[in-house]
């Protein structure tokens, strides 16, 4: 036990003993001890009152004086208050520096609680979202950002890393929004102005669409003249091969233009409605016949339809998906190889898979094969007549049907392309 406490208890015991002795004179030692105890209690209550007043003043100096244990109590409390004040100053300095650094960010930042209510934000977020300092703090973020894509992303942030939406501030501003969980039940909403990139992408898409559309007429004219020249019996024999080469190249150019136009439509289109039933067996059979008409196609083309459930969507786009996947598999599979087309339905949805035993791809190629004009095997793709846009068309057509594309491949062991359709895209009734 500390010395100060031993001395205090010793003094209290002496005072009680003295009170008992004085009370003994009057034949009431208990009354004497009670009077001494009440006096000690009053003394301590008085010091507690002084302590409360001192704490209420907020002053560190002007420490109350006292006797016995109380001077040490006051000194310890003064030490704690001094240390807390230093820590408070350091904390306020850190908060000030943090606010200054966040204010310097070009991107907006909004702190949300577990209920998606706005706790704080920086100046960039205020400008990008047109926030009001008084009225918008405490508001739910979905009440300010009401775009359907953002609301869906807010409910399921793990499905995609970010979402792009038009700014509620108006104008031609587009925002990229990303949710980053941190701390206990808190989320940081990062907002970036991507208007310039969206504008450039729109210009690129419009240019590709317009240029492709304008190229169709001259290519059609060239194809007509070349067909006429090829059928001319009087043409010199030396022209035979050059005319054939020109026909092949113009035909290839025509296919490229058609793919560019189709890709442009898919990129700019909204999700497809669910009011049309599309036969999966019809899509698969059409793709199978198309492959069988190709020269050097694989000898084995197996179809496994494990369900009679059909899809809801747009037939032309779904036909393009299946056709591109199957023809792509046949293009990279030798004649002695095998292509398998399967359709299964489970609790998660429908799964259309196209598997081959062809040349396969490396792990580095898999994330990029859906990019425009990317070729895992450029030389082979050109020889086979591919445009480099087939898988890009597949990706965007699936996106319009709320579906995902999964790619599995091993170099030298073949590839698998699996289209995962959600249950609301299945014609279950």
The C-alpha atoms of residue 258 and residue 393 are separated, in whole angstroms, by 11
**For residue 385, what pLDDT is reported?**
52
Mean pLDDT of the region 54-70 = 71
pTM of the model as a whole: 0.55
pLDDT value of residue 97 = 67
pLDDT at 30 over 50: yes
Each residue's pLDDT tens digit, 138-168: 788 888 888 888 888 888 776 667 888 888 8
The DSSP string of 312-374 is ES-HHHHHHHHHHHHHHHHHTS-TTSEEEEEEEE-SSEEEEEEEE-S----TTTGGGTTSTT-
CA distances from residue 5 to 8, 12, 15, 153, 265 in whole angstroms, order as listed: 5, 11, 15, 63, 87
**More confident site: 40 or 302:** 302
Average pLDDT on 366-370 reads 82
Most confidently predicted of 81-85, 203-207, 383-387: 81-85
Residue 103 exposure: Cα atoms within 13 Å on the Cβ side: 6
pLDDT at 352: 92
Cα separation, 142 vs 223, whole angstroms? 55
Please give the pLDDT value at position 211. Answer: 72
**For residue 264, pLDDT beyond 80:** no
Per-residue pLDDT tens for 114-129? Answer: 888 888 888 888 888 8
The contacts of residue 423 (CB under 8 Å, 6+ apart) are 347, 348, 349, 350
> What integer pLDDT is reported at residue 421 of this predicted model?
92
- pLDDT confidence bin for 402, thresholds 50/70/90: confident
Q: Lowest-pLDDT range, 42-56, 91-105, 195-209?
A: 91-105
Q: Kindly indicate the confidence band of residue 271, based on its pLDDT and cuts at 50, 70 and 90.
A: low
Average pLDDT, integer, range 372-391: 61
d(CA 83, CA 69): 22
pLDDT at 118: 86
Query: Residue range 292-309: average pLDDT?
Result: 80
- DSSP string for 50-104: HHHHHHHHT-SSS----STTHHHHHHHHHHHHHHHHHHHHHHHHHHHHHHHHHHT
Q: What are phi and psi of 174, to 5 degrees?
A: -120, 140
pLDDT of amino acid 1: 56
Question: What pLDDT is stored for residue 51 in this prediction?
Answer: 74
Radius of gyration, CA atoms only, the chain: 40
In 211-331, which ranges are E strands?
A: 277-278, 300-305, 310-312
Provide the β-strand partners of residue 165: 175
CA distance 303 to 341: 5
pLDDT at residue 329 greater than cutoff 90: no
């Amino acid at each position: 036990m500390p010395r100060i406490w031993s001395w205090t208890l010793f003094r209290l015991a002496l005072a009680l003993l003295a009170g008992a002795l004085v009370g003994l004179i009057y034949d009431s030692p208990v009354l004497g001890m009670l009077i001494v105890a009440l006096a000690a209690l009053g003394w301590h209550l008085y010091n507690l009152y002084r302590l409360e007043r001192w704490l209420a003043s907020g002053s560190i100096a002007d420490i109350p004086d006292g006797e016995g244990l109380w001077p040490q109590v006051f000194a310890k409390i003064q030490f704690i208050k001094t240390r807390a004040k230093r820590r408070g100053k350091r904390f306020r300095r850190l908060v000030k520096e943090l606010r200054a650094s966040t204010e310097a960010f070009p991107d907006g930042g909004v702190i949300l609680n577990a209920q998606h209510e706005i706790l704080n934000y920086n100046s960039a977020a205020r400008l990008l979202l047109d926030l009001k300092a008084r009225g918008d703090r405490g508001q739910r973020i979905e009440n300010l950002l009401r775009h359907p894509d953002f609301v869906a992303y807010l409910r399921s942030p793990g499905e995609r890393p970010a979402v792009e939406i038009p700014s509620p501030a108006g104008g031609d501003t587009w925002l990229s929004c990303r949710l980053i969980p941190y701390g206990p039940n808190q989320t940081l909403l990062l907002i970036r102005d991507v208007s310039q990139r969206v504008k450039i992408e729109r210009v690129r898409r419009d240019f590709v669409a317009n240029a492709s559309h304008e190229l169709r007429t001259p290519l059609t004219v060239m194809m007509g003249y070349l067909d006429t020249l090829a059928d001319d019996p009087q043409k010199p024999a030396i022209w035979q091969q050059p005319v054939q080469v020109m026909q092949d190249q113009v035909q290839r150019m025509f296919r490229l233009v058609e793919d560019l136009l189709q890709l442009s439509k898919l990129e700019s289109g909204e999700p497809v409605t669910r009011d049309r039933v599309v036969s999966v067996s019809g899509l698969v059979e059409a793709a199978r016949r198309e492959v069988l008409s190709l020269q050097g196609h694989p000898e084995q083309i197996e179809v496994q339809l494990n369900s009679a459930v059909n899809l809801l969507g747009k037939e032309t786009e779904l036909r393009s998906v299946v056709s591109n996947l199957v023809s792509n598999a046949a293009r990279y599979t030798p004649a002695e190889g095998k292509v398998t087309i399967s359709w299964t339905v489970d609790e998660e949805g429908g799964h259309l898979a196209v598997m081959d035993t062809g040349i396969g791809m490396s792990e580095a190629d898999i994330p990029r094969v859906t990019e425009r004009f990317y070729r895992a095997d450029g030389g082979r793709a050109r020889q086979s007549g591919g445009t480099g846009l087939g898988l890009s068309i597949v990706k965007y057509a699936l996106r319009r049907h709320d579906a995902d594309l999964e790619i599995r491949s091993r170099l030298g062991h073949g590839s698998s392309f699996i289209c995962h359709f959600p249950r609301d895209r299945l014609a279950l009734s």
